[in-house]
Structure 1
Amino acid sequence: MGQPKSLKQIEQRFSTATLDPALFSALEDSTAAKEACSLLVSHYLSTDSDAYNRVRQYLQTALTSGDYEKHPERLAGGVREESQKYARSAAFRSLVLEAYDYRCAASRLRYITPDYRYLVEAAHLVPFAESQDDRPTNGLALTPNLHWAMDSQLIAPGPDHRWHLSPAVDALVPDNRWLCELDGQPLVLPRDPRWQPDRDALAWRLDHLQR
């Protein structure tokens, strides 16, 4: 059987894979995983430079992101390289969504498609540009519309673990009902207390609510 000559051929040959337990254990070591990935990419994609570069870049980001997920304390502080930014962003998203079990922290909505796409997004409490903090305690899982509403300072989660509505939102306008109904509602919290939102980050959000 000849070697696949493109990424498409590999995707056609392999839809799922099961690793031997011993191999899985060995690949838990990040150095071993990086070496294995490098060997596989070089072996199967050496004749397709475009696929080779895309898969290599993807694996580098995925492996670095995996390291961050194992050590979330490293997700705070300045970003030195663009690749580090992508890896940290991916780790932040993964950790936050998993912490909230893919459920919106405001509406409680949850939906996962068969191909593992989610209704919610990972939203920073204190924006990354200001905090340089990608730790999951600086994040919430929110549906896109409520993510936008929070970043627009129309709603805010407070240290009291409740949602607060900006006085700028006119409650007499029927179209604003979806926001008004959140006022005073409890914030959905992760089951694991390690990932519950940081009190100072919640206070920051409440302080920046439109008045």
Structure 2
Amino acid sequence: MKTLKLTLLLALCPVMLYAQNYMYKKAAPVKIGIMGGYNLSRITNSQDNYTIENYSGYSFGASALWQNWEQLGLRGDLVFSRQGYGYNENGTKAGYLISSYAYLSPAANFKPVPWGSFFAGIQMGMLIKANCGCGNTDYQSTITQHFNRFDYGLNAGIEFTPKAIADGFIMGLKYYMGLSDIVKSNNTQNEEGVPILLPNFSTRNSVMNFYLGYRF
């Protein structure tokens, strides 16, 4: 019995020492930053008579990073994103949609080298406004009521911290893949008062974002 107790004690010693070291380890500070960038967006899927074009938008917001486990950490971004798509109907430029979202994106951060990291996580957003236009005209109509207000999906990307430019400077590339349909109901495509043809198939947001920023 004494031998068993001694063996268990010796086996638990490394665990106890590690736990004590973790408890008294100085926590890494949370770094707060600002960022802004360029969006290249579209929606998924298309049809023969309804082909999709990319839309160029922008984003800006705030970022927080907590790198407390050597190479592993947590990050969270709160951004305003201007995105959308254009479409061609039967070979002619028919219309476009511009949507504005507020996104929250918590993610895990892996930093294998001091100057670069990878991240991946979830992304949740609220639709603020949806505007549409026909052809090449500048006139826009608000059709927010025809779209789902909540959007969610996955995001992943890579970020660089080139200290040669400035200490705290960040630049990165992030991709967002939406998992929820953006159109509230497919039967609204022919409704009176909707100036563009809404897709009658499953459509989800797809956004490639290049950003620059600074963390303090």
- State if a TM-score over 0.5 links the two structures: no
Which structure has the highest strand share of the two?
A: 2
| Normalised TM-score (structure 1) | 0.22
Which structure has the highest helix share of the two?
A: 1
Which has the higher relative contact order, 1 or 2, with Cα contacts under 8 A spaced 6 or more apart? Answer: 2
